[in-house]
């Protein structure tokens, strides 16, 4: 099997899939190399949520085609959402691609590559595993990172009119809770301290094996209640060594009473919620078929804030959705200001093939989209700056993930709420994978700088001087850290 490289575009789900791709290829005898120049096999794990992502991938395929002209034995694989979206169209428009493989077909990769290496024509395999869904489990033996992703569901049954995901990832399929818990137990045994549960509408979870039921305080008359809170409680109970439990991406409609209670009662859950609202205008929300109103979003948020007073919230916003007027956009700005949003991921609307919004026509022009994105950005940056500077001189519990990417002399990690915290003067201490107490000394634009509190420093030294504590070796860089706080497109 070849020397291979995997390049990832898009969301956390894709990053998780790429890790599984690497494991499947390594398991078949492949050797992971750091750059495509050293590889005989290149997998592009693609995203098609916006046109800009697709353009980037097409130009990457163009670059690899040049390489392939020099090295005809180079095998090119297009995986992920774009593969499913365009299927054989990829081979037609990019004839240097040898294999197109969908998100549910990762396990078949070695056998498909074997067929190609026998001299067969380019192949396309993009079936959904509807009858017997599989969820590839992380092989943790080699894992040294304190954080990991675990899939709990895949696909999406919502029909937001702008979104291509239901086409690229298929209908919702849920993973049995005992499989989820078993994977987390394995990860924790391999020193993982924080798990992020992944799913397109992660808080709509229900256990296909029927082992969970609803959480004790789930409202029986709320159709949006799911078994997600019960899953969180089962994980917390059955994997007590797990320090932190995050999840993404939730749908605001399923931020129910039971889920808020879980946040109040389980110390593993963050005091932070990412709640994509997309627009602050009811008219636009209706055209997006988000199936909640502005008032319902605000109501859910105020219920959370009332019960978890220091919670922070981030959101996703689309600007320039078909028919969005200046008045609609002002509603969005006012919603972003009204809620204590500390992060806004803003995107210009991008028409996607096969989506219902295409029929709405009436596109907002590019200049207006850019202008609205910029104004949104200014509001969100100001609230981020207010939030981060208010944290100076406070103490935060930080899970240390490894050396800081920007400055090797610092360590870096995340607070309970998910702020990025750089820790000065601690690289000589074995605290990677530990939750430590940090005093914040400075606020940067998108992160914080802090130092270990005196008592934490003493504790770390004492441990290091001879308790025989098990610790994690320092890993290079904080992989997957610091998503952009604001969409760049």
Q: Which residues contact ligand 5AD by CB under 6 A?
A: 49-50, 162-163, 276, 278, 316, 318, 347, 349-350, 352
The DSSP annotation for 365-419 comes to: PHHHHHHHHHHHHHHHHHHHHHHHHHTTT-EEEEEEEEE-SS-TTSEEEE-TT--
Closest CB to ligand SF4 among residues 336, 399 = 336
* 199 within 8 A of 250, measured Cβ to Cβ: no
Q: At which residue do the structure tokens 């090119």 appear?
A: 76
Closest CB to ligand SF4 among residues 155, 270 = 155
DSSP letter for 278, please. B
Closest CB to ligand SF4 among residues 151, 201 = 201
Q: Are strands 435-443 and 99-101 parallel, antiparallel or unpaired?
A: unpaired
Token pair for residue 462?
Answer: 């004492």
| Helix segments in 308-365, DSSP class H | 326-338
| Contact call for residue 151 and ligand SF4 (CB under 6 A) | no
| Contact call for residue 160 and ligand SF4 (CB under 6 A) | yes
Closest CB to ligand SF4 among residues 50, 193 = 50
Q: How far is the CB of 440 from ligand SF4 (least distance, A)?
A: 34
Q: Is 318 helix (H, G, I), strand (E, B) or coil?
A: strand
Beta bridge partners of 101: 79, 125
Closest CB to ligand SF4 among residues 126, 201 = 201
Closest CB to ligand 5AD among residues 177, 278 = 278
Q: Are strands 194-198 and 173-174 parallel, antiparallel or unpaired?
A: unpaired
Q: Which stretch binds ligand SF4 (CB under 6 A): 163-171, 240-248, 322-330, 446-454?
A: 163-171
DSSP letter for 143, please. -
Closest CB to ligand SF4 among residues 166, 343 = 166
Site for ligand SF4 (CB under 6 A): which residue of 13, 64, 156, 448?
156
Q: Which stretch binds ligand SF4 (CB under 6 A): 112-120, 154-162, 380-388, 451-459?
A: 154-162
Closest CB to ligand SF4 among residues 158, 217 = 158
Q: How far is the CB of 164 from ligand SF4 (least distance, A)?
A: 8
Q: Which of 256, 304, 296, 264 is nearest to 277 (CA)?
A: 296
Number of H-type helices and E-type strands within the chain: 14, 19
* 280 within 8 A of 294, measured Cβ to Cβ: yes
Token pair for residue 449?
Answer: 């700088």
Q: Give the Cα separation of 299 and 304 in Å (integer).
A: 9
Q: Is 272 helix (H, G, I), strand (E, B) or coil?
A: strand
Q: How far is the CB of 163 from ligand SF4 (least distance, A)?
A: 3
Burial class of 212 by CB neighbour count within 10 A (0 to 12, 13 to 18, 19+): buried
Site for ligand SF4 (CB under 6 A): which residue of 148, 165, 180, 230?
165
Measure CA of the first residue to CA of the last residue in the chain; give whole Å: 38
Q: How far is the CB of 63 from ligand 5AD (least distance, A)?
A: 25
Closest CB to ligand SF4 among residues 233, 352 = 352
Q: How far is the CB of 156 from ligand SF4 (least distance, A)?
A: 3
Chosen from ligand 5AD, ligand SF4, none, partner binding at 251 (C-beta under 5 to 8 Å by type):
ligand SF4
* 163 within 8 A of 144, measured Cβ to Cβ: no
| Contact call for residue 204 and ligand SF4 (CB under 6 A) | no
Chosen from ligand SF4, ligand 5AD, none, partner binding at 352 (C-beta under 5 to 8 Å by type):
ligand 5AD
What residues contact residue 432 under an 8 Å CB cut-off, 6+ apart? 146, 400, 401, 402, 411, 471, 472, 473, 474, 475
Q: Give the Cα separation of 267 and 260 in Å (integer).
A: 13
Count of residues interacting with ligand SF4 (CB under 6 A): 9
Token pair for residue 137?
Answer: 């489990």
Site for ligand SF4 (CB under 6 A): which residue of 47, 163, 215, 429?
163
| Contact call for residue 251 and ligand SF4 (CB under 6 A) | yes
Q: Give the Cα separation of 461 and 79 in Å (integer).
A: 47
Chosen from ligand 5AD, ligand SF4, none, partner binding at 350 (C-beta under 5 to 8 Å by type):
ligand 5AD
What residues contact residue 323 under an 8 Å CB cut-off, 6+ apart? 283, 284, 287, 360, 362, 364
| Contact call for residue 200 and ligand SF4 (CB under 6 A) | yes
75-104: contacts with ligand SF4 (CB under 6 A): none
Q: How far is the CB of 352 from ligand 5AD (least distance, A)?
A: 5
Chosen from ligand 5AD, ligand SF4, none, partner binding at 200 (C-beta under 5 to 8 Å by type):
ligand SF4
Site for ligand SF4 (CB under 6 A): which residue of 18, 201, 312, 412?
201
Site residues (CB under 6 A) for ligand SF4? 156, 158, 160, 163, 165-166, 200-201, 251
């Amino acid at each position: 099997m070849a020397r291979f490289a995997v390049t990832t575009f898009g969301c956390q789900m894709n990053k998780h899939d790429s890790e599984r791709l690497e494991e499947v290829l390594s398991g078949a005898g492949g050797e992971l190399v750091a750059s495509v120049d050293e590889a005989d096999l290149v997998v592009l794990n693609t995203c098609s949520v916006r046109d800009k992502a697709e353009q980037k991938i097409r130009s990457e395929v163009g670059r690899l085609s040049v390489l392939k002209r020099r090295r005809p034995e180079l095998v090119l694989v297009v995986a992920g959402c774009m593969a499913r979206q365009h299927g054989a169209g990829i081979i037609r428009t990019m004839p240097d691609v040898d294999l197109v493989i969908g998100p549910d077909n990762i396990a078949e990769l070695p056998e498909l590559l074997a067929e190609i290496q026998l001299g067969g024509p380019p192949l396309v395999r993009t079936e959904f595993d509807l009858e017997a869904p599989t969820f590839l489990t992380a092989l943790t033996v080699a894992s040294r990172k304190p954080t990991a992703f675990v899939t709990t569901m895949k696909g999406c049954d919502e029909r937001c009119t702008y979104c291509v995901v239901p086409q690229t990832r298929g209908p919702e399929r849920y993973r049995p809770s005992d499989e989820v818990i078993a994977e987390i137990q394995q990860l924790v045994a391999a020193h993982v301290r924080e798990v992020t549960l992944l799913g397109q509408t992660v808080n709509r979870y229900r256990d296909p094996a029927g082992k969970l039921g609803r959480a004790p305080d789930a409202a029986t008359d709320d159709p949006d209640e799911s078994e997600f809170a019960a899953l969180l409680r089962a994980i917390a109970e059955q994997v007590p060594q797990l320090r932190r439990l995050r999840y993404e991406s939730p749908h605001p409609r399923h931020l129910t009473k039971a889920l808020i209670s879980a946040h109040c009662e389980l110390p593993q859950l963050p005091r932070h919620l990412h709640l994509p609202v997309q627009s602050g205008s009811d008219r636009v929300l209706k055209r997006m078929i988000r199936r909640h109103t502005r008032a319902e979003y605000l109501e859910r948020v105020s219920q959370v804030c009332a019960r978890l007073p220091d919670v922070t919230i981030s959101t996703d916003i689309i600007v320039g959705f078909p028919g969005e007027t200046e008045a609609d956009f002002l509603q969005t700005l006012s919603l972003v200001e009204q809620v204590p949003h500390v992060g806004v991921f803003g995107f210009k609307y991008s028409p996607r093939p096969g989506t219902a919004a295409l029929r709405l026509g009436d596109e907002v022009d590019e200049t207006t989209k850019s202008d609205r994105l910029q104004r949104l950005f200014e509001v969100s940056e100001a609230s981020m700056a207010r939030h981060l500077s208010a944290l100076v001189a406070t103490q935060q519990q930080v899970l240390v993930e490894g050396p800081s990417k920007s400055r090797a002399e610092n360590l870096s990690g995340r607070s309970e709420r998910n702020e990025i915290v750089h820790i000065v003067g601690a690289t000589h201490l074995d605290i990677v994978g530990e939750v430590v107490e940090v005093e914040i000394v400075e606020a940067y634009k998108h992160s914080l700088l802090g130092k270990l509190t005196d008592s934490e420093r003493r504790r770390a030294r004492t441990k290091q001087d001879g308790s025989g504590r098990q610790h994690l070796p320092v890993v290079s860089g904080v992989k997957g850290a610091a998503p952009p706080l604001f969409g760049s497109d």
